[in-house]
């Protein structure tokens, strides 16, 4: 999320692995909308393998899987968010909204006032 010159990105870590961040949240939204990992990946312009690796990472980092998959090609095939997945996504989006409130603070306004529009030209040593 970008507020003027400030970019805020919430990332939750599980050990050294990113358990949830903006891209993974967007992937969860796409899976919820598209009903499959492959269609979600295509909608986001990423490979199926990349999407599957992100889902696998999320499923391994949380106490319960965020995405449930069902093979078979029938009506029940595809992927969907689990109850835990919906809860985690809702909480993450709420966290992002709360972080957006930083843009309404005096310190940000003061920093922005001290910031140049563009950096000065690089000076040789």
Total domains, the chain: 1
Q: Which domain, by its residues, includes 52?
A: 11-109
pTM of the model: 0.81
Q: What is the CATH number of the domain that holds 62?
A: 1.10.10.10
In the chain, which residue ranges form alpha helices assigned H by DSSP? 22-34, 37-44, 48-61, 83-100, 106-114
Alpha carbon distance 27, 46 (integer Å): 10
Alpha carbon distance 82, 71 (integer Å): 16
- Is residue 80 in some structural domain? yes
pLDDT tens digits, one per residue of 18-68: 999 999 999 999 999 999 999 999 999 999 999 999 999 999 999 999 999
């Amino acid at each position: 999320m970008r507020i003027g010159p400030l970019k805020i990105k919430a990332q939750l870590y599980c050990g050294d692995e990113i358990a949830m961040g903006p891209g993974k949240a967007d992937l969860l939204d796409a899976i919820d909308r598209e009903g499959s990992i492959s269609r979600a990946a295509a909608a986001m312009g990423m490979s199926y393998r990349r999407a599957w690796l992100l889902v696998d990472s999320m499923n391994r980092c949380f106490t319960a899987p965020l995405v449930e998959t069902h093979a078979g090609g029938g009506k029940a095939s595809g992927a969907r968010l689990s109850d835990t997945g919906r809860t985690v996504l809702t909480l993450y989006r709420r966290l992002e909204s709360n972080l957006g409130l930083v843009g309404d603070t005096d310190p940000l306004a003061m920093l922005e006032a001290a910031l140049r529009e563009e950096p000065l030209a690089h000076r040789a040593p």
